Structure 1
Amino acid sequence: MHDELWKFVLDLYARPGIETTCLQLQADGANVCLLLCGAWLDARGVACTCERVRLLEAIATPWHEDVVRPLRELRQQWRAQAVQDPELMHLRESVKALELNAERQLLQRLHDQAAPWPLATQGLSMTWLPALLPATAAHSSAALHVLGVAARETQAWLEDASPLSS
């Protein structure tokens, strides 16, 4: 498995406020894995085109709807009951691990599609995050801004920390 996008996502998610931002975007109906991939592409300077957006959405939407979302809904459904039932809590933690693995698999699929795309050679006219945000979450521009700034900082830090940059 190529870990470039996964490492970026883990480092980005560890930044202050990003978990809350991602949960807000998720609650607003956004596919957070798709947005995290978009944040990675924006931070790297990969040109955003309508065709590329459609390619990523064609990968992300079915996997998110058929795999990730049902696992998340089951985990959330068991939240209150699991507090009182240790066996259910154990099962809930197993479902949570499956959900995380499903998200990682989705990110890998997105990485496999997008990693070969070259960096933009001129100014970007369309950016990834707004292009990947569903219309139902259009009011989330402040959250997108937070995610975008943190993504650029994360990418800069990763490039500085890379042994190839020395």
Structure 2
Amino acid sequence: MYADLWSFALTTYARPGVESACLRLQENGADVCLLLCGAWLEQRAVAATSERLQALKQIARPWQTQVIEPLRQIRTHWRGMAQQDEALAGLRERVKALELDAERQLLTRLEALAQTWPTGDAMDQRRWLEGLAAEDAANLDPGALQQLRAGVTST
């Protein structure tokens, strides 16, 4: 078990199939940072409640829309042009690093909130991913969500 969310996210993302699942979820509008937090909470056996789900979303939404998404849009917009322009490729890498820093900051904020919640509750801890993805469920690839969960439970 991982004590901090950032280490958990890095390790989970590096597992086979998880990166592609996360990218599919992100392309369909899911907040991958929020889902990784949910997977971390499931692993820590923290009970999922509607109040907790809402509290995490209230932290994640503004940061995602005002900080992470604008950086991601610039980075993806520059993808093609950066292949032909070395200076722009360097700037794109710096934007990519900023995007990763912004995601780490979001995970830190989510962890700070969730650290106060008791662990070891065997009841309802498996509802996190579905609860956090509920608003995007119509657009999400259910296989990608299951692949994320499988990646978390694999060793």
Normalised by the length of structure 1, the TM-score is: 0.86
Q: Which runs of 4+ in 1 moved over 4 A?
A: none
Q: Which residue of 2 aligns with 1:80?
A: 80
Unaligned runs of 5+ in 2: none
Residue aligning to 2:60: 60
TM-superposed deviation, 1:75: 0.2
In 2: Cα distance, 1:46 partner to 1:92 partner: 38
How far, CA to CA, are the matches of 1:141 and 1:105 in structure 2? Answer: 27
8 Å CA contact 1:29–1:137 kept in 2: the answer is: no
What is the letter of the counterpart of residue 145 of structure 2? L
Alpha-carbon distance in structure 2 between the residues aligned to 1:28 and 1:51: 25
Percent identical pairs in the alignment equals: 50
Equivalent residue, structure 1, for 2:19: 19
Give the gaps of 5 or more residues in structure 1: 158-166
Question: Per the alignment, do residues 142 and 112 of structure 1 end up closer, same or farther by CA in structure 2, a change over 3 Å counting?
Answer: same
Higher gyration radius (CA) = 1
Q: CA RMSD in A?
A: 1.6
1:89-138 deviation line (CA, Å, top 9, x unaligned): 00000000000000000000000000221125342276100000143343
Which residue in the other structure is 2:49 paired with? 49
Alignment of 1:118-157 (within 5 A): 118-124=118-124, 127-138=127-138, 139-153=140-154
Greater CA deviation, 141-150 or 118-127? 118-127
Q: Which amino acid letter does the alignment assign opposite residue 6 of structure 2?
A: W
Q: CA deviation at 1:55?
A: 0.3
* Kept in 2: contact 1:29–1:134 (CA 8 A): no
Q: Secondary structure at the match of 2:83?
A: helix
CA contact under 8 A between 2:35 and 2:129: conserved in structure 1? yes
Quote the Cα distance in structure 1 between the aligned partners of 2:125 and 2:13.
27
- Counterparts in 2 of 1:27 and 1:137: CA distance versus 1, 3 Å: farther
For 2:153, the aligned partner's letter is R
TM-score, normalised to structure 2, is 0.92
